[in-house]
Structure 1
Amino acid sequence: MTTDHDGIEAVARAAVLAGGAELPDRYRDGDDDGDYGAHDVKAAADEAAEARMLPLVRRAFPAHEVFAEEAGEFDGTEPYRWIIDPLDGTNNFAAGLPTFGSSVAVRREGEPLLAAVHLPATDETYLARRNAGVRYDGERVTADSDVPIEGATVATIVGRDVPRSPDLGRRADEIREALDDTVKRVLDSWAPTVHSSLFARGRLEGLVQFHPDEEEQAVTELLAAEAGGATRRDGPLYVAACDEETLAALWAAVDGAR
């Protein structure tokens, strides 16, 4: 069966808008109900947003494989995998910080095909599609930036397993320190899809991923590639930059820290 990629894009966009619509009132009301751990938090808002998103995807594409952050895995018979993150930036949300969003990624035969991100606090939507670029509120955008490396802002993204491992945590700290010696500002991202979206329209000069989680990795890498970013990977380490010169400087810094 041939799947209409325009249809996938429409459903992905509808899903992130539906998930995002659940969040503003909860955020303004200070809804911090959830389970708090040493390294993460699961808020009631995650489940509520996913309850709006997941049925849209399952009804539209019942034969597609789905991973939903709260509900888990759903098997499929077609070569598509949906990855639903109803509330990226849960820690920010629970702390009253407006840096959070709802995101969806779709892989086809393992390769990122489409990503959609909606930021409820600012009512902004990003769509990235393989070989079709990135659109920000309907307009094509790129990762181009004229900011020199000494004035650059770079976001670091680490997976949830990194702080649980002393060795990985130490290496992540070394990477951050090396970046801090190279650029003006390093952001420890607690909302990777939000910062990846900002990179895709030239508001950040770089992204560094280290052992990322699946729900962020597909979104980040598709946004970076389709926005024309310069990228490089070595196993669990991935760097995206606004241009080749910036990439070379960032890679030299993080590679030396490993």
Structure 2
Amino acid sequence: MLSRIEDTAVRACLAGGRHLRDRFDADVDAEFARHDVKAAADRASEERMLAVIEESCPDHAVYAEESGDVSTGGDYQWVVDPLDGTNNFVSGLPSFATAAAVLVGDGGRPRNDEADETGLADDDGPVVGCVYVPVTDDLYVARRGEGVTLNGEPVTADGGVPTAKATVGFVIGHDVKLDDRMDEAVTMQSALAGATKRVVESWSPCVHWGALARGRLDGMVCFYPDDEEQHVGELLAAEAGASIARPGDGVYVAATTESVRDDLLATIE
């Protein structure tokens, strides 16, 4: 079953991502708001991804970023992000991706006392994940207990850079920008900037999760992240062997080494 689901996730992400690549740098059809942007390419990519999923897995629950709950019920739940990095896409910046995660259980993230050393509960959360970065033609695939591949080759989140030389991605959820949690996010980002070489404010988290999974990015710090990117990101991090922590209060930290992880935690406390 998981092999079929994995194959479907790959085909869905490629279908959406290749459409995005064809439309990239063309005339922008988008609606701009203060804290968000909606692009026609987003919806078109989602249509192509959903067509693949619905044909192969008609009995699965599906949640898509643009459409919401497409279907409910079943033992598996899909979480689909048809364009991670919409703002980048419409701005002509080549950092964007398509992503899909498939979850079992109730779909929620485990409590700290339910998580194993990878940060995932035994019978809950993502079991298959796929991220496709169209511009670089990078395809990341993760399956619970079987690691991560990049374009078919295994990768790991190995690293040896000390925290002071580390490059770290910082992710905040969309809702954070709308309330007083944004003040806390700004404080966290400033503290991280003082402790590391560089903090990348991530507008395309799935791209950066892939970079962490292959050991190119040294850490990721998330503050109330959005499910569309976080489920697949957590699976990539866990299966790539990253050191993970969930201190609570909407915070998730992953790094290539335990020492960097611990330093990042201490920095944002």
TM-score relative to the length of structure 2: 0.91
Q: Which deviations, in whole Å up to 9, do the C-alpha atoms of 1:132-151 show, x marking residues without a partner? A: 10100101101111222111
Instruction: Provide the rounded CA distance (Å) in 2 between the counterparts of 1:213 and 1:221.
Output: 12
Q: Secondary structure at the match of 1:22?
A: helix
Question: Which residue of structure 2 lines up, in the alignment, with residue 124 of structure 1?
Answer: 138
Aligned residues, how many? 250
Q: Secondary structure at the match of 2:200?
A: strand
Matches within 5 A, 1:1-258: 4-29=1-26, 31-109=27-105, 110=107, 111-165=125-179, 167-235=180-248, 236-255=250-269
Kindly state the Cα deviation for residue 51 of structure 1 after the two structures are TM-superposed: 1.2
| Contact in 2 for aligned 1:34/1:43 (Cα 8 Å) | yes
Instruction: Provide the rounded CA distance (Å) in 2 between the counterparts of 1:51 and 1:78.
Output: 21
Q: Secondary structure at the match of 1:156?
A: strand
Q: Secondary structure at the match of 1:161?
A: helix
Instruction: Provide the rounded CA distance (Å) in 2 between the counterparts of 1:200 and 1:32.
Output: 31
| Contact in 2 for aligned 1:65/1:77 (Cα 8 Å) | yes
Q: Which deviations, in whole Å up to 9, do the C-alpha atoms of 1:6-37 show, x marking residues without a partner? A: 000000000000001101221132x3211111
Kindly state the Cα deviation for residue 217 of structure 1 after the two structures are TM-superposed: 1.1
Kindly state the Cα deviation for residue 55 of structure 1 after the two structures are TM-superposed: 1.0
| Contact in 2 for aligned 1:11/1:57 (Cα 8 Å) | yes
| Contact in 1 for aligned 2:83/2:98 (Cα 8 Å) | yes
Q: Which deviations, in whole Å up to 9, do the C-alpha atoms of 1:34-92 show, x marking residues without a partner? A: 11111110101001111111011011111111001112203333221101111100000
RMSD (CA atoms): 0.9
Instruction: Provide the rounded CA distance (Å) in 2 between the counterparts of 1:230 and 1:147.
Output: 14
Unaligned runs of 5+ in 2: 108-124
| Contact in 2 for aligned 1:62/1:76 (Cα 8 Å) | no
Instruction: Provide the rounded CA distance (Å) in 2 between the counterparts of 1:108 and 1:32.
Output: 37
Instruction: Provide the rounded CA distance (Å) in 2 between the counterparts of 1:77 and 1:62.
Output: 11
